Chains A and B, each alone.
Chain A
Amino acid sequence: MTAVKESDPYAPTEFRPKKVGFGRWVREHLVTFFGILGLLYLFAPIFVVIVFSFNKPKGLFNYTFTEFSFDAWTGVCDVPGMCDSLWLSIRIAFFSTLAATILGTIAAFALVRHKFRGRGFANILIFVPMATPEVVVGSSLLVLFVNMGVPLGQLTIWIAHTMFCLSFVIVTVKARLVGLDPRLEQAAQDLYANRVQTFFRITFPLIMPGVVAAAMLSFSLSFDDFIITNFNSGSEVTFPMFVWGTSKKALPPQINVIGTAMLLIALFVVIVGRAIGKRRAR
């Protein structure tokens, strides 16, 4: 079938596309257009954060771009008190993530794998802390701590953060666990793996992406929380509280540096996570 005779009545006719009109062009690219518009909307504030981290403001407030400089990047901790609050936030985020992830994963197992009276109700209750307004949670926790005589400080912040992260962890890990075929664990047991080996070689590696996602979500929720923390921090100052407190009298570009750095770290983690995910799926 190399040469088709020109007289061949069954030869395919040449395909001639119609002339593309302007109206049609607009119709075909409408989705792209709105897509770009949506992305711009999402990224404009982030773009401002990054640009203003390289600013050298004239006054105390980083409101107008005056001069490009690396000063804020080289002297991040020059702002008194900011880095202390940053470390506090990181520490609290780390420990509440740890506690919430462990507790939440265990709870997710119980809710997915075990049939018990009130399981359906428990599954609904998980959503209550997420749906409750933060102001209400924060003030109620304050009342609770004061009544129980717990001194406000790092401990109460940690307890509060672990509490509100827990629901998110349970929901995330549960979704992963539901999708896990129990026959894989049965197959492992059939192949001479005892329960501990089955958990560490099959179950955990397979729900790992869900657990990591839950931990990352917890960390960012805890790091960024202001309302609940504000009620229960006592004399401690976390990073969001520092920014709020200082914004009344000054807004140094170092705050933008922290914001940009957090963004880069998050991007890095996501990219690495995707790369690992791709390798695992291969």
Chain B
Amino acid sequence: MTAADLNTGTGGLKIRGLHKHYGTFTAVDGIDLDVPEGSFFALLGPSGCGKTTTLRMVAGLEEPTAGEIMIGGKDISRQRPYQRPVNTVFQSYALFPHMTIFENVAFGLRRRKVDGVDAKVKEMLDLVEMGHLAHRKPTQLSGGQQQRIAVVRALVNKPKVLLLDEPLGALDLKLRRQMQLELKRIQTEVGITFIHVTHDQEEAMTMADTIAVLNKGKVEQMGAPVDLYENPRTAFVAGFLGQTNLLTAKVVGTSGDVLTTDFHGIKITMPVSRMAATTQEVEVGVRPEKIHIAELGEAPVGRNVVDGVIIDASFIGVSTQYVIRTLADAEEEITVFTQNSSTSLRRVGETVSAYWHPDHTFGLHEGAWQEAEAAEVAS
């Protein structure tokens, strides 16, 4: 098998029992992943969670302590980086400073002695509308332009899997948003499997079809962005992907698909499938934007209702953020985001009913709020 016919054929990426130890430190602690062919996959997690190490092991720049990395059913974990059908977009772009843009993009093709280098490079440069910069040196380009070149330099080789190591980290916010959409467009256009490493949950949710949330070298939860956000199965995921409210409650029973919990005498219900804990003591979660506020006692029937006093109201323009201290337990607070569709704001000190649909409720194990808070800080 030569390098030239590496990049033909199909197949997604499959990782089984991947471990990486540095002395006594465990960077990656048994990761299993299945990335279907042609998908946009994100590895999301705080710094030090092992996401970059995982990516580097797929690229061959780091040797796994144990485990299998398979592309199209073939184990590549012992191959050299230049023998693997993957290409990487590095965090700092790693463009070769002594070569022109054209030569940078042509580098991989020339090493594999592919025919028609000129046409292929031109085609790729046109894909990102940078054909006119072909004879410049990397230092003469802006950050966004360098980023595009780094992407095309990898893509021109038509890898089976493209690895992106926080490629947007060095760009400013506006450019980052723009590049997120552009990367998504390119991925749809070329149909190559993208694996994107990032610590930015919004970036991951905007771009990826599937996200694997990593923490301490393990996969916390994997799924579509909506599933992860709406139905987090662990406290870490709940906290890392946006804000969350967690109330300590007791499970009192299930009837059919409905699970009922008790929060200081208040019944809070949710679908059975959304409860991740099996113990009696649990934490009941709901996202702040799912909660509505009504006058005391005027909440609609069939909702989960918690009464409380507004202790803080911050007007943010498009929305208002309220903090409500529950009447049942003065230790518990609920954060609510409301759209500013009406111009009248509620005042601090008002006693109100906060309510939400049972389907928006999720359940986590006891003590989850501490982990969720830590994850929120890390995100």
CB-CB contacts below 8 Å: A172-227 with B: 181, 183-184, 186-194, 197, 201-202, 205-206
Complex CA–CA separation, A97 to B91 (angstroms): 39
Given contacts A206-B97, A281-B139, A282-B137, contact A189 B90 (CB under 8 A): no
A192: nearest residue on chain B (CB-CB)? B111
| B3 is an interface residue with CB less than 8 A from chain A | yes
Q: Is the CB of B107 within 8 A of A193?
A: yes
Given contacts A191-B157, A197-B111, contact A186 B96 (CB under 8 A): no
Given contacts A189-B82, A192-B3, A192-B157, contact A202 B88 (CB under 8 A): no
- Size class of the A contact interface (CB-based, 8 Å): 20 to 34
Q: Is the CB of A181 within 8 A of B3?
A: no
CB-CB contacts below 8 Å: B57-95 with A: 59-61, 80-82, 86-88, 90, 92, 94-95
Main SS at interface, chain A? helix
Complex CA–CA separation, A197 to B96 (angstroms): 14
| B358 is an interface residue with CB less than 8 A from chain A | no
Complex CA–CA separation, A276 to B133 (angstroms): 22
Complex CA–CA separation, A206 to B138 (angstroms): 14
CB-CB contacts below 8 Å: B138-191 with A: 139-140, 153-154, 157
Q: Is the CB of A190 within 8 A of B139?
A: no
Complex CA–CA separation, A281 to B60 (angstroms): 31
The contact of A191 among B92, B97, B107, by CB within 8 Å, is B107
A186: nearest residue on chain B (CB-CB)? B61
Given contacts A192-B82, A205-B98, contact A183 B90 (CB under 8 A): yes
| B108 is an interface residue with CB less than 8 A from chain A | yes
Q: Is the CB of A189 within 8 A of B92?
A: no
Interfacial chain B residues near A16, Cβ < 8 Å: none
| A280 is an interface residue with CB less than 8 A from chain B | yes
Q: Is the CB of B81 within 8 A of A189?
A: yes
Q: Is the CB of B94 within 8 A of A187?
A: yes
* B283 CB, nearest partner CB in chain A, Å: 43
The contact of B108 among A183, A191, A205, A282, by CB within 8 Å, is A191
A190: nearest residue on chain B (CB-CB)? B88
Given contacts A186-B94, A202-B96, A206-B97, contact A191 B153 (CB under 8 A): yes
The contact of A183 among B80, B81, B92, B112, by CB within 8 Å, is B92
Complex CA–CA separation, A186 to B108 (angstroms): 13
* A136 CB, nearest partner CB in chain B, Å: 42
A194: nearest residue on chain B (CB-CB)? B82
Complex CA–CA separation, A137 to B181 (angstroms): 66
A-B pair number, CB within 8 angstroms: 64
- Size class of the B contact interface (CB-based, 8 Å): 20 to 34
Q: Is the CB of A193 within 8 A of B111?
A: yes
Complex CA–CA separation, A114 to B139 (angstroms): 29
Q: Is the CB of A193 within 8 A of B90?
A: no
Given contacts A190-B87, A192-B108, A193-B111, contact A184 B82 (CB under 8 A): no
Complex CA–CA separation, A205 to B82 (angstroms): 20
B106: nearest residue on chain A (CB-CB)? A191
Complex CA–CA separation, A280 to B98 (angstroms): 6
Contact with B along A254-281 (1 / 0, CB 8 A): 0000000000000000000000000011
Contact with A along B109-136 (1 / 0, CB 8 A): 0011000000000000000000000000
* A130 CB, nearest partner CB in chain B, Å: 30
Interfacial chain A residues near B94, Cβ < 8 Å: 181, 183-184, 186-187
The contact of A188 among B107, B137, B140, B157, by CB within 8 Å, is B107
Interfacial chain B residues near A181, Cβ < 8 Å: 92, 94
Given contacts A183-B92, A189-B82, A190-B81, contact A281 B108 (CB under 8 A): no
B153: nearest residue on chain A (CB-CB)? A191
Q: Is the CB of A190 within 8 A of B111?
A: no
Complex CA–CA separation, A197 to B82 (angstroms): 11
Complex CA–CA separation, A159 to B108 (angstroms): 43
Contact with A along B264-281 (1 / 0, CB 8 A): 000000000000000000
Residue among B60, B96, B139 with max Cβ neighbours from chain A (10 Å): B96
A184: nearest residue on chain B (CB-CB)? B94
Interfacial chain A residues near B88, Cβ < 8 Å: 186-187, 190
Interfacial chain A residues near B61, Cβ < 8 Å: 186, 189-190
Interfacial chain A residues near B137, Cβ < 8 Å: 281-282
Interfacial chain B residues near A188, Cβ < 8 Å: 96, 107
Residue among A189, A202, A280 with max Cβ neighbours from chain B (10 Å): A189
* B306 CB, nearest partner CB in chain A, Å: 52
Q: Is the CB of A184 within 8 A of B96?
A: yes
B139: nearest residue on chain A (CB-CB)? A281
Q: Is the CB of B96 within 8 A of A187?
A: yes
Q: Is the CB of B80 within 8 A of A189?
A: yes
Interfacial chain B residues near A187, Cβ < 8 Å: 88, 90, 94-96
Residue among A183, A192, A201, A206 with max Cβ neighbours from chain B (10 Å): A192
* B84 CB, nearest partner CB in chain A, Å: 8
Q: 26 A-B pairs, CB-CB below 8 angstroms? A: A181-B92, A181-B94, A183-B90, A183-B92, A183-B94, A184-B97, A186-B61, A186-B88, A189-B60, A189-B80, A190-B61, A190-B86, A191-B82, A191-B107, A191-B111, A192-B3, A192-B82, A192-B108, A192-B111, A192-B157, A197-B111, A201-B107, A202-B96, A206-B97, A206-B98, A281-B137
Q: Give B residues with C-beta under 8 Å from A.
A: 3, 59-61, 80-82, 86-88, 90, 92, 94-98, 107-108, 111-112, 137, 139-140, 153-154, 157
Further pairs besides A187-B95, A191-B154, A281-B139: 19, Cβ < 8 Å = A181-B92, A183-B94, A184-B97, A186-B61, A186-B88, A187-B94, A188-B96, A188-B107, A189-B80, A190-B60, A190-B61, A190-B81, A190-B82, A190-B88, A191-B157, A192-B108, A193-B82, A206-B97, A206-B98
